[in-house]
Amino acid sequence: MLNLDGKNALVTGIANNRSIAWGIAQQLHAAGANLGVTYLPDEKGRFEKKVGELVEPLKPSLFLPCNVQDDHQVETLFKTIGDQWGKLDILIHCLAFADKDDLSGDFSQVSREGFTRALDISAYSLVQLSAAAKPLMSQGGSIVTLTYLGGVRVIPNYNVMGIAKAALEMNVRYLAGEMGPLGIRVNGISAGPIRTLASSAVGGILDMIHHVEEVAPLRRTVTQQEVGNTATFLCSDLASGITGQILYVDSGYCIMGM
Ligand code: NAD
């Protein structure tokens, strides 16, 4: 049954009400999960306030800062989860970053610094958070990350983020191989293009969405809620035999040749 009562779920990557992670958090909550939510701290505390107000109706029992480039913050986050929850069942990795300049124009012009930052935040962070979650998933668990078709095909302007998603998808397989014997499943959702803060940095995102609306079998792109439904399924016992997979939630776009 799709019932997450008694499950502790950590959701990363909520920035605002358009975030895919917000769609996921709502569906996990509806299925009965106890939520922990992280936000990316900034100097003026804007994200803390904004995300805090947004998630308030879901009554998260943990609300903590998490910049994945700050090892101390990640350590504190998982120590708090251990102290307050004792165990973690679900980890939602729903974050990415690349410099706007690296998300348009010629891919070959990406700087070493931009390349490294994109791969660090968008791909290495899954390894980092999964390693920290592993000892807390003593009764098994489910880890879900978000990827995009640009990690397996060339999508104009997606550029360095495509390389990060390719690494992320391989991370899913290696982590699934390592953690499967412990009952921890690791999967990715490859979502169709959705207007969000992160996607607005990708050159021509609206054209990408319009193209999907014209070509995808369902003749539309997907919603945050649809991605949330699939994530909730992947975190539930209904998906107990699924690990190491990338599931496409993209209105069928990826099957088309023309
Ligand atoms: P979003 O801007 O709402 O979410 C991106 C999140 O990443 C934000 O919450 C931001 O705070 C977080 N983040 C950035 N740098 C961070 C850091 N150093 N530490 C911790 N968090 C950090 O955009 P979104 O589209 O909901 O993106 C969520 C995920 O979905 C990303 O992995 C994205 O690549 C993926 N995705 C998005 C689409 C799309 O079209 N929107 C499609 C497929 C996959």
Separation of CA 217 and ligand 1 centre (Å): 26
Domain presence at residue 43: yes
Domain presence at residue 256: no
Domain presence at residue 2: no
Q: What is the pLDDT of residue 2?
A: 86
Q: What is the pLDDT of residue 183?
A: 98
Per residue of the chain (258 residues), give pLDDT as tens: 689 999 999 999 999 999 999 999 999 999 999 999 999 999 999 999 999 999 999 999 999 999 999 999 999 999 999 999 999 999 999 999 999 999 999 999 999 999 999 999 999 999 999 999 999 999 999 999 999 999 999 999 999 999 999 999 999 999 999 999 999 999 999 999 999 999 999 989 999 999 999 999 999 999 999 999 999 999 999 999 999 999 999 999 999 999
Domain presence at residue 203: yes
Distance CA 186, CA 226 (A): 19
Question: How many residues does the structure list for the chain?
Answer: 258
Index of the ligand 1 atom closest to the CA of residue 202:
40
- Structural domain range at position 186: 8-250
Domain presence at residue 24: yes
Give the CATH number for residue 217: 3.40.50.720
Separation of CA 243 and ligand 1 centre (Å): 22
Index of the ligand 1 atom closest to the CA of residue 16:
3
Supply the pTM of this predicted model: 0.98
User: Which residue among 39, 124, 158, 174 is the active-site one?
Assistant: 158
What is the tally of structural domains in the chain? Answer: 1
Separation of CA 38 and ligand 1 centre (Å): 13
Residue 158 known to be catalytic: yes
Q: What is the 3-state secondary structure (H, E, C) of 132-145?
A: HHHHHCECEEEEEE
Q: What is the pLDDT of residue 150?
A: 98
β-strand pairing of 34-39 with 8-11: parallel
Domain presence at residue 257: no
Domain presence at residue 3: no
